[in-house]
Every structure is written in C-alpha cells, then in structure tokens.
Chains A and B, each alone.
Chain A
Amino acid sequence: MQKTLSESKRCSPITVKSLPVRSNHGPAALQSPSNRAEQRSCPQWRRANMALMELASLEKSLGFKKANKYSTQGNNKTPILQSNKGAPLIGLVTIASHLVQEAAQPELLGRTAEQRAVVRQWLEYRVTQLDGCPKEDIRSILKELNQYLEDKVYLAGSDFTLADILLYYGVHHIMADLSVQEKEQHMNLSRWFDHIQHYPGIRQHLPLVVVLRNRLYTGGHH
C-alpha cells in the first residue's frame, strides 16, 4: 500500500455514477447556481459533489445539528473547511478526522496506537487507491478488500471506526453496480458492506444495496 500523505491525486477522467441529489439533503454550497451550471458535464464536479455530500452525511451520522459550509479548491475540487479557530482544513480525511474530534468521538479514530495506525492506513487507502481508480483496477481492489475482511468484522478488527464509514462511502457506487453473482464472489466484502450500511445513522442519503444472505452460486455450473 502506498504511504503518501498527499491527497491531491490526479483525477483520472472516469465518470463516477452520480447519486440522485435531493435538494433538501445537500449542503447549501451545492445549491449555488454556478455549481449547477457545471453539473451537466464535469466529472470532477461530481467528484467534489460526492465528497461534499459525503461530509454532509458524516456530519449527520456524527450527530451535528448544523451543517458546516465547505468550499472546494483546485482541479480535484478538494474540499475545504474554514474553521472558526484558525487555518482552513483541506482534504476529505483531514476534515473527517476533525469532525470526529469535534463530535467528541475520538474512539472512531482508533482506541489503541496500533488501531489508530490501521485506521490511518485505511483512510489513506481510500483517497489514494480507491478514489479515481481506473475501471480495470476495480477487480483487484475488490479482491484485496475481500481477502482482508475474511476474518474481520470491521476494518480495524473488532471496533467500528471512521475507516469503515469512509470506505463504505467510497465503495458504495462500485457495490451498487455489481451483479448478484459478483457480490457472492466477494462474500466477505459484501457482508461487511451490508453490516455498515445498516449501522445506525451511517447510510443517510445513499440508496440501500441489496445483499442476499443465501448462496445462489454454489455448484460450479454456468
């Protein structure tokens, strides 16, 4: 796994399946007319849109009453949070970690030093490996995650952390496109995904992805 801390990964021009935006859900920034004009063609905008929606969902699931205002910067539309106490915070993972602290739920970043390292590792994986991953590499990502989750309930072992939330948001559009057979092929990933999407308060605006609980493809036929 790469260990770069930069989040300004070049956005490869793939079209990420856009999610149905319901106006009463998105943060105020999304409703500005300039953004709406961009919406029609630019995948980067959609990426930013996703990141902002994701942060809005995260705020809700952490129990924030009032939504923060975000802006974006650069070609990658990296999210920015202008905080009241000093320098602006830049980048999905940075802002997400900050929100967790704000919500006084530091255990979501890991309980032990080891767990904190694992959580950081998966947050980084999310923004360096998963985001903007070309279509042909998605298979190997799914395989990797499926293997890793074979003996774990959560990414950091037996505790629910921010890594689970952000990776769930990150793989949602991929999981939604998988066929029943593909979901069964990646059984551990599907189990984890189904568990997280039913975790109280996490799913928010995202549509439920159906994960069957019975095996259909046991025999080696067709």
Chain B
Amino acid sequence: MTKEEVKGAVEEDSQAQSKKALKKQQKEAEKAAKKAEKQAKQAAEQQMTDEDDFAEDRYGVPPMLQSQARLDRVLVRVQDLTAEKAGQLLWVRARIHTSRAKGKQCFLVLRQQQFNVQALVAVGDRASKQMVKFAANITKESIVDVEGVVRKVEQKIESCTQQDVELHIERIFVVSQAEPRLPLQLEDAVRPEGEGDEEGRATVNQDTRLDNRVIDLRTTTSQAIFRLQSGVCQLFRDTLTSKGFVEIQTPKIISAASEGGANVFTVSYFKTSAYLAQSPQLYKQMCICADFDKVFCVGPVFRAEDSNTHRHLTEFVGLDIEMTFNYHYHEVVESIADTMVQIFKGLRDRFQTEIQTVNKQYPSEPFKFLEPTLRLEYWEAVAMLRQAGVEMGDEDDLSTPNEKLLGRLVKEKYDTDFYVLDKYPLAVRPFYTMPDPSNPKYSNSYDMFMRGEEILSGAQRVHDAELLTERALHHNIDLEKIKAYIDSFRFGAPPHAGGGIGLERVTMLYLGLHNVRQTSMFPRDPKRLTP
C-alpha cells in the first residue's frame, strides 16, 4: 500500500463513520416522534375512559374473594351450555382460554376443564367501548365470572367443544388474575407431534411440561388422561369388591427389603434405618395367612432403580392383588385377567370421550383384548420368537425388545393387545415363586402384557416354610432378615397367588402413549423430585 492509498482509506473510514452517526440521529428522532405520538394517544384514551362509562358496574376486578357474602347465584357448567339453553341469561365461571379483539367486538374462548365455549363482548346497549377494551385486556388463564345470554349459532364453531351455541356477555368480573407471561402456551402443549414442525409452530418438550405441571395439567389431553386414570382405579376397586375382595392398607416404611436389597430407598428412622416398601408383597401374604382370603391394595410403591427410561418411575401407584385358591393357581390367573378385562371394557364404554381426546394429540389404535384372555406358555413364546429369527435359550429371560416383538407377533396371530405369559423359567423369578411340579426348570409364575409391555408380574407363592427356606438359601438370602416373613407360614398357610400392577403403565399402554411420565401427575424419577 502506498501512502496515498492509506490516506484514502482513512478518509473513506471517517466518511462512513459520519454516515453512521447521521443514521443514528435520524433513528433517535423517529423514536422520539413515536414516543410523543404514543403519549398523545394514551392521553386521548385516558380521556375516553374518563368519559362517562354507562357500563362501569358491569365489569371490573372485584376485591379478593374472602367469603364476604354468600350470593344466591347459580353457576352453570360450560359443558351444559347447549342449544336447549338458548335464550337464557345465566352465570358461568371459567378461564379465559384465548381472547381476540376486533374493533367493537371481543371474542373470548371460555374454558372449564376439558370443555370450552365461544363468548362475545360487543359494544351495544349492554356493553360500552371501555368494557370491550377491558375484556380484551384480561390476561390468558385468568378466572372470570361471566353473565351472558346463550344464543344459537348459524355455523358450528369447530374450535370449541360447545359447537351449537355462543355466549353473549353482559357482565364480566375477574375472580383471579393470571400473570401476563405464561411459562407455556396451552395450544402448544396439545399440538400433535409433527404437526407443529410443518407450520413452524412450537411444541412443548416433556421437561418444560413437567416443570410447569400445574399449567400442563390444564390441557384437554392431561384432563382426559387423569380422568381416565381415576376410572382405572375405580373399575379395579369395583370389580374386585364385587368378586368378594377386601381392600387393605399396608405400611410403606418397612424394616427389610422385600425383593432383594438392590433397589430400595433407605430412610433414617430414629436411631436406626428403615426402607421404603418396594411392594406390599409381605403384607398381602400375611393377610392371606390371617384368613382374609382375597385382598387388594392401592398405594405408592418405591423403586430406587437408577434407570431413566420411558417406563420407569421411582415412585408409582401399585394395584396389588393376592388371593387364596383351591387347587390350581390358574384360578387366580383367570380372576386377575378377568379383572383387567372388566377394566378395559369399563374404559371403552364409559370413557370414550377421554380416549378420543387423547387420541387427537397422540393417535393410536383402539385397545384390543379377547375374552377369555389369551394365555400362552413361556416355551410357546420362545418358539414364536425363534420362528421370527431371535436366538435365545429356553431359560433366558425376555429382553425388552423381545417382549415388544413378542407383543407384535401375538397381535398379528391372535389380534389381541392383552395376553398372559405363563410358566416362566424358575431361574428368572424371585425366591418365593412356586416351582412347577412337572418340570423344576419352570415355575408357576406369569406376566401380563399390554401392547407388548409388561404391566403385571405374579406367581403362586411358596406357602410352605421348609421349601421357602430352601429357595431363599438357593438365592443366597440372609435368613435372619426374612425370619418374620418365613414364620408367617408356620401356622397353617393356604395356597395362594397374586400379582402387582403399575397404574401409570396400564394407563399409558391402554392409551398407547410413549412415556410413563405422561400418566403420572407429578412424576418421580432419578432426575426429578419437583414439583
């Protein structure tokens, strides 16, 4: 570079800089002008609101509800707003799901649980400009008391559950105001996977959902899932009660690990330590030995397994069954399988709306089952897998991929999503499992599967103290630790069998969901202890 050139470059530089400065000044001037304009506008608006507002007692934010008075007012449920109510003036309490103002009108979608209805505030002899503006400014998810007239609509409102009517609002009061910024948008949280990608819209990932579980649980999908889950518990109880079962409550703080000490939570217990129950196994069996014949319990179960998979939780709800039988443990298998079938039938007949709602976001085929339930033996399953090209030994345990493949093969051959796999190899089952009388390699134990995933593990238990001791020694279990358990069987113990079901897994697999966290209200896993 010559000196000339350098000089030129410097000059150019300074010129460019001055250009930039000019631009900056212009921008600032524009900004100031805009600000002034805005202020003028705000002042004008202020004046307008200061003007006489004829509807000022028809809207607003009343003082916090502290049970000041008991109003003689009936609040109608959103799901009851149908064409039959057309022309009626009534009160509704709901959330503001969405709102959009269009000039002299403001459209609101009012939501109550999984139902929503379109509402409308329009300037007229009932509502003033200011009232429309107020309605448009209510933050999303706020709870409002609304008085309005139900009117039939010409065209069905596709985006709402109440498609035949809309609500013409005459009064609107905010009961509880939501903060303007929501951690997640409800529309984003119910968008089916894949649909958002096409339109470039956001979907909410699992962790964001769980971090803000309270809001996520308001979505139609969540509402449907947990209503259906409540139905599972209800059907479980009803079915078993009608079969003559007694519901029991068992302690969750226990002195010794029941299923081997590997995956158990230790809690400090005064001067010693205790464990959180991995299953009510011991207590169910003690109840059997105490002449309760048929027992079930619904309660929390803890597993300190450090596995972060789609189907493991550290705390889940166990539905446990234990019952005596007369001569063959298949009496119990049939009883449990029938209970499951009654649950599936009940869900199918009573929860169709919820199933459809979940299907909108997570499509899956309807759950299929046979009556009576299909029962396969382990060797048959191994043969089916071998035919499909899987290499495995007679007494190998089923790996998760093989379980899933087997589910597919069974579905293809028998057209059922639910079946029982019986006669597991003795080597892969717990010590209290009764060996098969005709072939000591096998055992009187069974798993039940939904959509190729295990939901229940069960077996005939050893009710003879001698054999139980022998089996415990075979498994290298310290007899001292399970002394109380073994002693239970010394004073006459009836033959019995049972099983334990995971509630969240049943819900997940019935609905064809992919993650057990979706069916646990406040999931606990190795990485999550909140909310």
Task: State whether these chains interact.
Answer: yes
Contact across chains for B388 and A212 when beta carbons are under 8 A apart: yes
Does B389 make an interface contact (CB < 8 A)? yes
Cβ contact of A222, chosen from B363, B387, B388, B451, cutoff 8 A: B451
Say yes or no: is A198 at the interface (Cβ < 8 Å to chain B): no
Given contacts A221-B451, A222-B452, contact A214 B387 (CB under 8 A): no
**A180 touching B365 by the CB < 8 A rule?**
no
A221 & B404 in contact (Cβ 8 Å cutoff): no
Give complex CA distance A214, B411 in Å. Answer: 11
For chain A residues 177-222, which have a beta carbon within 8 Å of chain B?
Answer: 179-181, 209-210, 212, 214-217, 219-222
A209–B389 Cα distance when bound, in Å, is 7
Whether B346 is near chain A, meaning CB under 8 Å from some CB there, is: no
Q: B389-415 CB contact bits vs A (8 Å, 1 = yes)?
A: 100000000000100110011011000
User: Given A221-B451, A222-B451, are A180 and B388 also a contact pair (CB < 8 Å)?
Assistant: yes
Give A160 to B411 CA distance when docked, in angstroms. Answer: 36
Chain A's interface size range is 10 to 19
B387: nearest residue on chain A (CB-CB)? Answer: A210
With A221-B451, A221-B512 as known contacts, state yes or no: A216 contacts B389, CB within 8 Å.
no
Given the known inter-chain contacts A179-B401, A180-B405, A214-B412, please indicate yes or no for A219 contacting B364, CB distance below 8 A: yes
B108 to chain A minimum Cβ distance, whole angstroms, is 36
Counting chain B CB atoms within 10 Å of each CB, the highest count among A214, A220, A221 belongs to A221
Q: Nearest-CB distance from A123 to chain B (Å)?
A: 29
Partner of B365, one of A209, A210, A221: A221
CB contacts (< 8 Å) of A210 on chain B: these are 387-389
What is the interface of chain A mostly: helix, strand, loop, or mixed? loop
8 Å CB contact of B514 from A209, A215, A222: A222
Docked CA distance A6–B408 (Å): 46
Question: What residues of A have a CB within 8 angstroms of the CB of B411 in the complex?
Answer: 216
Q: Which residues of A contact B363 (CB under 8 A)?
A: 220
Residues of A within 8 A of B451 (CB): 221-222
Q: Are B389 and A217 in contact (CB under 8 A)?
A: no
Smallest Cβ-Cβ distance to B407: which chain A residue: A222
Given contacts A180-B388, A210-B389, A216-B412, contact A221 B364 (CB under 8 A): yes
In the docked arrangement, what's the CA distance between A17 and B78, Å? 65
Question: Which residues, 488 to 510 on B, are CB-close (under 8 Å) to A?
Answer: none
The B348-370 residues at the A interface (CB cut-off 8 A) are: 363-365
A216 and B409 form a contact (CB under 8 A): yes
The answer to whether residues A219 and B365 also contact, given A180-B405, A214-B412 and a CB cut-off of 8 A, is yes
Which residues from B are CB-within-8-Å of A217? 408
Note all chain B residues with C-beta closer than 8 A to A219.
Answer: 364-365
CA distance A67 to B404 in the complex (A): 46
In the complex, how many angstroms separate the beta carbon of B369 from the nearest chain A beta carbon? 15
Counting chain A CB atoms within 10 Å of each CB, the highest count among B365, B389, B409, B412 belongs to: B389
Q: Which residues of A contact B387 (CB under 8 A)?
A: 210
Once bound together, how far apart are the Cα atoms of A181 and B411, in whole Å?
14
Q: Please state if A222 and B404 are interface contacts (CB–CB under 8 Å).
A: yes
Q: Inside 8 A of B389's CB, which chain A residues have their CB?
A: 180, 209-210, 212
Alpha-carbon distance between A210 and B387 when the two chains are bound, in angstroms: 8
Counting chain B CB atoms within 10 Å of each CB, the highest count among A180, A209, A217 belongs to: A180
A180: chain B residues at CB < 8 Å are 388-389, 405, 408
- Which residue on B lies nearest to A183, using beta carbons? B389
Report B163 CB to chain A, min CB distance, Å: 28
Could you say which residues of chain A place their CB within 8 Å of the CB of B512? Answer: 221-222
A209 cross-chain contacts in B, Cβ below 8 A:
389
Residues of B within 8 A of A179 (CB): 401, 405
Tell me the bound Cα distance from A180 to B452 in angstroms: 15
The closest CB in chain A to the CB of B514 belongs to A222
Q: What residues of chain A have their CB less than 8 Å away from a CB belonging to chain B?
A: 179-181, 209-210, 212, 214-217, 219-222
On B, residues with C-beta under 8 Å from A are 363-365, 387-389, 401, 404-405, 408-409, 411-412, 451-452, 512, 514
10 further A-B contacts with Cβ under 8 Å, apart from A220-B363, A221-B451, A221-B512, are A180-B388, A209-B389, A210-B388, A215-B412, A216-B405, A220-B364, A221-B364, A221-B365, A222-B451, A222-B512
A-B contact pairs, 6 of them (CB 8 A): A180-B389, A181-B405, A210-B387, A212-B389, A217-B408, A219-B365
Q: Which 7 pairs show the lowest CB-CB distances between chains A and B?
A: A210-B389, A216-B408, A219-B365, A221-B364, A216-B412, A221-B512, A214-B412
